[in-house]
Amino acid sequence: MTAATHDTWIRRAEKLEPHGDHLIDGAGESGGGATFRAVSPRDGRVLAEVADGGEAEVDAAVAAARRAFDHGPWPRLAPAERGRILTRVADLLDENREELALTVSLETGKPISDAHDIELRAVVNTFRWYGQLADKLTDESPHTPHDALALVTREPAGVVGAVVPWNFPLTLAGWKIAPALAAGCTVVLKPSERSPLSALLLGRIALEAGLPAGVLNVVNGDGPVAGRALGLHPGVDVLAFTGSTAVGRQFLRYSADSNLKRVWLELGGKSPNIVLPDAPDLARAAATAAWGIFFNQGEMCTAPSRLLVHSSVAEEVTEAVVAHARALRVGDPLDPATQMGALAGEEHLARVLGHVDAASADGARLRTGGSRTLAETGGTYLEPTVFDRVAPDSRLAREEVFGPVLSVLTFDDLDEAVSLANDTEYGLAAGLWTSDLSTAHQLSRALRAGTVWVNCYEEGDLTVPFGGMKQSGNGRDKSAHALEKYMELKTTWIQL
C-alpha cells in the first residue's frame, strides 16, 4: 500500500517533469518536430508536449529493432543472461515505483492507490516471472528411425510490434514486451496517445537495466498514423495488439496488405457475471460485482458489465450492488482514499454518457448514477451507474461501454443463463457464483469465454493464460503460452 498522503502526491505531481521524446535505438528522439499534448483527465492539465510519430519514426524504430535482432547480441545471449536482465528491469521498475505510479495516475485518471499497488505490482511481477522463465524453455528431439535424428527447436520470431491501450498502460505493455524479450525478439512499442509518458519511462528504465540499444524502442503517435505504419511495416514479423475489435480488424487488414505478419489480438468484451440462488455468499457476490464493474472506472476489457441474476434473488443482489455504488468514493486520483477516479478524457466521457442516454431510451431503469460529477475540477468524472430491467437485445446489453455502467438482466433457469451469457459477439471472460460443484463444472464448460472465474472475479496470476474467444481475439497473454506468439518452430532432420 502507498504510504504517501494526498498532499504528498500533489506536491510530487507539481514537480514531475516527464519526457516526451520517442525512444529509438537507445536514445531520445524528437522526430520531425510535430507534437501533441498529453492531457491529464484528473483536471485537464497538460502534462507534457509529446513527440508525434509517423512513418519516418516507425521506420527508424523498426530499423533499429531489426539491426538489434539480426546483428546485435540480444537473440544470441544465453537465455539465463536474458533472464538476468529482465529480472533487473523488474528490480528497477520496483525502485522507481512511485514515479511510475504517479505518471500512470496522472495520464489515465486511475486512483494512485490502484496505480501503485495493482498496476505496478503487475508489471514488476511480469518482468520478473519471464526473467525467471527465460532459461527454463526446452526444445524437442522426437523418436525417429535409427538412421535419422530430428530436432524441433524454438527460435525467436524476429521484430515484434506491440500496440497497447491506455487503461493499463504498463501492465499490458509488460504482458507483450516481457515474453517477447524472453524469447529473444526485439520490440517496437506504440503506446496509446493518451498514455505515452509511462511507456517512455519504462523504456528508459529497461535501458538502465542493461537492455541493449534497439532491443526495445518506443514510438508515440496516434493509431491511424503510427499504428497503421507499424501494422503495414514489412520489417515487423509479429504484431501484438490489445484494444478494440474494430482496430483489431484493421491490423488483420494491414497484415494482409503487407508481409502477412502474424497478428495476435486481445480485443473487447461484454463479460457476463452469473449469480445463482445457491451462491455461497450473495452479499460477497454483490460486492464483487460492484467492485468488478467500477474498478478502474469500468475501463477494463474484462469488466463484468452484464450482471445475470436468477430472478428469485435479483432484487436482493441488485439492491446490494446499488448500495455499494452509492457508497463508492469518486474523487481526485491523487487521493489515496479515492476508489474511482476520472475517465480517460472528454471524448471518452461523452461516449460513455451516450450509452447511458441510449439505455434510458431503450427502456432500462436507472437505479443509481448516470451523470457527470466533479465537473468543477476540470476533470472527466462519472457517477457509478447501475441499470436494471435491461433487455437482452438492447445496446447496453450488447455493446462494450468501457465505463462504470452496469446492466442487470434476470433469468429463470440454467439453460437461459447460459443462453444469455453466450449471446454476444465477445468471449473474453465470465463469472459464475454457485455452491454446486457439478453446476460450476458444467456451466464453465458451456460458457464461451477465455477465462471463467467461479465464486470470484479478476483472480489469477502469471501461471495461467489470458485471452479471448470469438471477437474478443486470439492468442494468449501471460503464462508460458504467451511465448508461443513470439517464437517459431523449426524442424531439422539429419540423415545419419
**396 with 390: CB under 8 angstroms?**
yes
- Per the DSSP assignment, residues forming a β-bridge with 218 are 23, 189
Strands across the sheet containing 306-310 = 365-368, 385-388, 405-411, 306-310, 272-275, 429-433, 451-454
Q: Which helix (H) or strand (E) holds 108?
A: helix 97-108
C-alpha cell at 178: 516481457
Would you say 272 and 427 are in contact if contact means Cβ atoms under 8 Å apart? no
CA dist 195 and 202 (Å) reads 12
Dihedral (CA of 79, 83, 84, 86) sign: positive
Q: How far apart are CA 474 and CA 180, in angstroms?
A: 17
- Rounded Cα distance between 225 and 303, Å, is 29
Catalytic residue among 266, 299, 400, 484, which? Answer: 266
- Cα(238)–Cα(162) distance, integer angstroms: 8
| Residue 485 CB contacts under 8 Å (≥ 6 apart), including other chains | 157, 179, 180, 238, 240, 262, 264, 475, 476
**CA torsion through residues 107, 112, 114, 119, sign:** positive
Which amino acid is it at 492?
A: T
What count of other Cβ atoms lies within 10 Å of the Cβ of residue 439? 15
Amino acid found at 238: V
27-29 and 22-24 strand pairing: antiparallel
Q: Are strands 186-190 and 159-163 parallel, antiparallel or unpaired?
A: parallel
The distance in angstroms from the start CA to the end CA of the chain is 61
The Cα 254–Cα 225 span in angstroms is: 12
Strands 216-218 and 381-382, sheet pairing: unpaired
What is the distance of C-alpha 495 from the center of its chain?
A: 47
**What are 123's three cell numbers?**
508489471
Annotated catalytic residue 456: no
Distance between CA atoms of 394 and 409, rounded to whole angstroms? 11
Q: Residue 332: helix, strand or coil by DSSP?
A: coil
Q: What are phi and psi of 320, to 5 degrees?
A: -65, -40
Contact 107, 202 (CB under 8 A): no
Q: Which of 185, 193, 301, 400 is catalytic?
A: 301
Beta-carbon contacts of 380 under 8 Å, excluding residues fewer than 6 positions away, are 41, 109, 342, 343, 344, 345, 346, 348, 349, 372
Residues belonging to the active site? 266, 301
